[in-house]
Amino acid sequence: MKKLKFIFPVLLITICVATSSYGKWVWNKEMGWIVSTSEAVITLDQRYKYALSLLVEQKYLIAIKEFEAIIDTSPNSEYAESSQINIGWAYFLNSDYKRALMAYENALQKYSGSKRTKEILERVFQLGVAQMDTDEDAAIKVFEKIIEKQNLGPLAPDAQVKIADCYFKLGQYEEALDAYEKFLEEYPKNEWVPYIQYQIPLSKVCHEKKQERNYGLLVSAREGFEEYLVSNPNGVHVEDAKRMIEEIWIIEAEREYNIGEFYLRRKKPSSAAMYFEYVIADFPGTIWAERANERIEFLKMIEAVK
């Protein structure tokens, strides 16, 4: 019994020393008695690792506060830039894209010329891609910032493609067309060129449909698809391009046939016959060629033309 009396005070002293060394004990309903974080984290490295662990645990807002505290405490340390980048990443993971972009912009501004600039821009690009599904206008601004920051950088061509794709998704085909054509001007040898060569005439077709039969755009689109087939005989959009050419071809045939009908209504059979013959010669196999042939036969039957 005397032996136990000596052991208990020693054990109590040991607990007290440990507590004073690692900080205050607080009650957590999930984990029980634990040492409070602010006291347990002693060094900057420990605090940074703790903040990273909060990211892993998806405690994003708490992690942000820890990273901000590191920056405030040691703004010139090796952990400050990493903390600023991770603040952006935490906001991104929390789907707060606006604040994520602001955090990345702060990183680019504070640490201009850093070796990690490329990494930051890659994260900004990822942010823009995520926004394309929900807010194309915001995504465009993100991609424009990337080009503004490094217009000759490795991400600039991809950003320009995404800008054009955003406009296309928004149904702003004229703006999309300008953005695609700008890509060809800026990056004529880039790997995206075949895709752009297909998207340009497709944008023209979509724009024409909104304008209700802008035949000049249709002809230009058909020529664009034909150029795509010549330049990319094994391209991924070959079948789509052929289908689009056929659709435009039929629309052109219909247009020429309708001009012939217009001259018939004006009682000018010779002019009408000229257009009907053009449809037969240039658009064989279409329903409009068949109808044009019927019209020619009718005009001959009534001796309106020879």
Per-residue pLDDT of the chain (306 residues; tens, 9 = 90+): 444 443 334 333 333 333 333 344 444 444 443 445 544 547 889 999 999 999 999 999 999 999 999 999 999 888 999 999 999 999 999 999 999 999 999 999 998 888 899 999 999 999 999 999 899 999 999 999 999 988 888 999 999 999 999 999 999 999 999 999 999 999 999 999 999 999 999 999 988 877 666 778 888 999 999 999 999 999 999 999 999 999 999 988 998 999 999 999 988 999 999 999 999 999 999 999 999 999 999 999 888 887
- Given this model, what pLDDT does residue 178 score? 96
- Given this model, what pLDDT does residue 68 score? 96
- Given this model, what pLDDT does residue 37 score? 52
- Given this model, what pLDDT does residue 292 score? 95
- Model confidence, pTM: 0.74
- Given this model, what pLDDT does residue 306 score? 79
Q: What is the 3-state secondary structure (H, E, C) of the chain?
A: CHHHHHHHHHHHHHHHHHHHHHCCEEEECCCEEEECHHHHCCCHHHHHHHHHHHHHCCCHHHHHHHHHHHHHHCCCCHHHHHHHHHHHHHHHHCCCHHHHHHHHHHHHHHCCCCCCHHHHHHHHHHHHHHHCCCCHHHHHHHHHHHHHHCCCCCCHHHHHHHHHHHHHHCCCHHHHHHHHHHHHHHCCCCCCHHHHHHHHHHHHHHHHHHHCCCHHHHHHHHHHHHHHHHHCCCCCCHHHHHHHHHHHHHHHHHHHHHHHHHHHHCCCHHHHHHHHHHHHHHCCCCHHHHHHHHHHHHHHHCCCCC
